[in-house]
Chain A
């Protein structure tokens, strides 16, 4: 039986991927970021999951506003890196776990989550910028140790799904994973945030106090976060920071109680970059 063995919350700022590609590991401006991800990469190496279920958002790259999916799941076995305007990153194509993805898609629809389904599309920094930090050896070695089930959430164009709905999506994914007969170790990943705003005169807004509170709540009391509205998230964490609802999808897929085994926070420029690892606590 497939089993969820933990969760990761991570920012997906494009410069995280850029810092990786430009090998900024020793650059004092970026070293704290790399230091924050190193324990996560070690944890993944030690736990060796077969699959990562990734709750991420597209940035009007793969999808466009002529038809923007609210929730979409990829059911393909390979996803090229998307060209976002200056050529694709030189990173190996991402591996998809097509059979498990198809199973999860079927379960979700039968569980009243009417997903859009996509195949054979490229994916942007919403997924690939954190992934190279999670598996820093994959690019030089030319191979990803785990395969992916990508689940896209619309956080760009309102109406965006509610925080509670995202949490429930995670719960439904947990049920779907548990009903897969093969022995697979699965880690769920929620991406985005933390505080930032990329539009208007309020662009550049951050709120470290709220970010710290969010990191407490996502682990200890995620239901409190599901009772908030998108307006609350936008006011506290910036209009684009409201994308942290994708962390709620990750959290919904985990046990009621979790142990935070790693957490780091770095706010160098416009977006607070956070990464955290959660392990399950069985009741």
Chain B
């Protein structure tokens, strides 16, 4: 066994996507990095966890043993940082619903745009 870092061969189904800009495929590496924060957001489907998060977010963060940066991203609803970090959009969606933030708002944030700017690029801006 050598001590050199192993470079994984990767998934041939996804090969060639490395150069696809602005895309963070949710694979097992991201899933591992994001597991704690994804679990935190997933658990918002439970009313008692939602209630704790709304009433005392810091206590919920403590209970989930989140890092300082994970807490910041959740506290600030930093959608762009979350997706880059390893969150799944579909757990983020739960945080969006709990926070009264719509999917178009989350998409705009990930693009680094205001909601108004994003809506100008849509065919039916009222359909949300």
Confirm or deny: A224 has a beta carbon within 8 angstroms of a beta carbon on chain B: no
Please determine whether B28 and A86 come into contact, CB atoms closer than 8 angstroms. Answer: no
In the bound complex, residues from chain B placing their C-beta under 8 Å from that of A64 are 38-39, 42
Instruction: Of the listed stretches B1-9, B60-68, B70-78, B117-125, name the one at the interface; the rest are far from the partner chain.
Output: B117-125
Interface residues on B, range: 35 or more
Least distance between B37 CB and chain A CB atoms (Å): 11
Is A60 in contact with B88, judged by CB distance below 8 angstroms? yes
Residues of B within 8 A of A201 (CB): 21-22, 110-112
Complex CA–CA separation, A199 to B25 (angstroms): 8
Measured CB to CB, the nearest residue on chain A to B16 is: A231
> With A85-B44, A157-B31 in contact, do A230 and B127 touch (Cβ < 8 Å)?
no
Give the residues in chain B near A200, CB-CB below 8 Å.
Answer: 22-24, 83-84, 110
Residues of chain B within 8 A of A198, CB atoms compared? 89, 103, 107
Q: Enumerate chain B residues within 8 angstroms of A14, measured Cβ to Cβ.
A: 93, 103
A158-B14, A202-B20, A231-B15 as given contacts; A29 in contact with B124, CB under 8 Å: yes
Residues of B within 8 A of A87 (CB): 47
A interface secondary structure, majority: loop
> Which residues of B are at the interface with A, using a C-beta cutoff of 8 A?
11-17, 20-28, 31, 35, 38-39, 42, 44-47, 50, 83-84, 88-91, 93-98, 103-104, 107-108, 110-112, 118, 121-128
Binding site for B on A (CB under 8 A): 14-15, 29-30, 59-61, 64-66, 82-87, 156-160, 162, 197-204, 229-231, 234-235, 239-240, 267-270
What are 26 A-B pairs at a CB distance below 8 A?
A: A15-B128, A29-B124, A29-B126, A30-B127, A64-B38, A82-B45, A85-B45, A85-B50, A85-B98, A86-B97, A157-B26, A158-B14, A158-B25, A160-B13, A162-B13, A198-B89, A199-B23, A200-B110, A202-B21, A202-B22, A231-B17, A234-B25, A239-B23, A240-B89, A268-B124, A269-B123
